[in-house]
Amino acid sequence: MPLRSLRLFLFMLLMLIPASIAAAEAQQGEQCTIGADTTVQGNLYSLCQNLVIDGAVRGDVVALAGSVAINGSVDGDVTAMAGQVTVTGIVGGDVRALAIRLAIMPGPHLFAVHGDVAGAGLSADVAAPVAGDMLYAGYQAIIGSAVGGDVRFLGAVLAVDEHGQVGGSAEVRIIGSIPRPPDSLAGVSLLAPGLSLGQDAHVRGDLKYEAPEQARIGPGTVGGQVRFVQGATSGLIGAAPFADVMANYLGRILRDLLSLMAIGLVALLVAQGGLLDVTRQLKTRAILSFGFGLAAMVLAFPAMALLLLVSAVLLGFVHILTLGELTLAVAIGLAIVNLILIGGFWFVALFLGRLAVCYLIGQWIARHIMLVADRATTLVISLLLGVIAFGAIADLPVDGYGLLANMAAACFGLGAILLALRNVLLRPQLRVAPAVSTSPISALLPGMTEGYPPLPEDIESLPGMDNLPEGFTWFDS
């Protein structure tokens, strides 16, 4: 994960933890409504399908819901994880949202002097003044009003329309390779990738942006300096010159080669048996591996949301128990734990899972070219061949194909890892069989009679002994 993306992920993780928690009211259910004539004295915690605030909250709002609508007033911050967050009322603090769509609509008075907007999702619409900074990561962000501070954006589309104003500087990174989702997913029209500044838009400070191609910036639109960094093109056939497409294609193959080979060599050194076991599961139980991996991917998202919610609640209890001096330490500890668990899962899925698929492909290639070498060399060459072949296939410059191929490989590999781990945990302990006695059969009979009819006590010889030749004494030796 690039350092910039890691910093952004850590920030989004920390922003879900309220800075000050003093529980006043908690609501849960399908429909939670704070009526227009209702005032909540203190913070409001909500676990609802739909949360509507028409009244007043004299504190912070922390919500996990399908949709959140703030039509009244909130004196403190709004921290929400939802499908859609809509603000049409008064918010006295910051707005932090992990939501498919974040919509800040025009209102009589929206933010305090230093109120910020921070979020991640699919689309953000800012149509009301923001006194502080704006930080957003997602497919698109549309600024249709004034942002008093700086703007930081990471995604595919940033549009500052004719009413948009940025009082500080703007730092933008446009990723042209992000596939365009369907409009129905966000409930709004999604724009084509790029940076656009309206005719009357204005950025008072500097503008630094990285994009596949330069934006059209009119004279006087940016008060400070404009710095453009040529980013990777979309890399798709027909969307860029052939030379750029091939350069981007080979660059992605080289990136996968360096990252997967580095991880693969470490895996061969410290866990060679585990990698071979995972590859064996993938080879013999491919369909089951894909099913396990896909299920784990699907369940990971609600599990991560639950983990973040539990962390926020736990931090709230620490603060409620008047352990204020420990709140910051607990917050940092929980953030680290969440980062390790969530980051560790995606590392296993996206890197180790794909690595197992690469090694299986490399084994097949090495076998068909009849590679003859010692075991260690064969393992390394097989891994190298597999990584190159996988990169050449998965990184083809076709719209949406790379994401689909990499996610499919991650599902196969993750499922194989889970199956191998299950076998290790459920493997019965080996039992050592008792040594077979070489004593005469007459000595074995007492121990072999359990479960069988007892022998008559007046028997003179064992059954069948009368049929042996005269003088035969082998059983008695």
Lowest mean pLDDT among 157-161, 203-207, 247-251, 387-391: 247-251
- Per-residue pLDDT, averaged over 86-95, amounts to 91
pLDDT tens-digit series, residues 15-27? 444 433 344 567 7
Q: Is residue 231 over pLDDT 80?
A: no
pLDDT tens-digit series, residues 390-446? 999 888 877 667 778 889 999 999 999 999 998 888 865 544 445 444 444 444 445
Arithmetic mean of pLDDT over the chain: 80
Contact 74, 91 (CB under 8 A): yes
Burial of 349-382, coded b for 16+ CB within 10 Å and e otherwise, reads bbbbbbbbbbbbbbbebbeeeeeeeeeeebbbbb
Question: 222 or 1, which is more confident?
Answer: 222
Q: Which pLDDT band, with edges at 50, 70 and 90, does 265 fall under?
A: very high
**Measured between alpha carbons, how far is residue 38 from residues 31, 55, 127, 215 in Å?**
16, 5, 27, 48
Lowest mean pLDDT among 141-150, 284-293, 350-359, 458-467: 458-467
Q: Is residue 356 over pLDDT 50?
A: yes
- Per-residue pLDDT, averaged over 220-233, amounts to 83
Q: Which of 57, 20, 64 is nearest to 42 (CA)?
A: 57
Q: How confident is the model at residue 17, as a pLDDT? A: 44
Q: Which pLDDT band, with edges at 50, 70 and 90, does 14 fall under?
A: very low
Q: Which of 80, 83, 106, 107 is nearest to 94 (CA)?
A: 80
Q: Is residue 9 over pLDDT 50?
A: no
pLDDT tens-digit series, residues 311-320? 877 777 776 6
Q: How confident is the model at residue 330, as a pLDDT? A: 76
pLDDT tens-digit series, residues 35-62? 999 999 888 988 888 999 999 999 999 8
pLDDT tens-digit series, residues 127-145? 989 989 999 999 999 999 9
Q: Is residue 449 over pLDDT 50?
A: no
DSSP states of 352-388 as a string? IHHHHHHHHHHHHHHHHTT----HHHHHHHHHHHHHH
SS3 112: coil
pTM score above 0.85: no
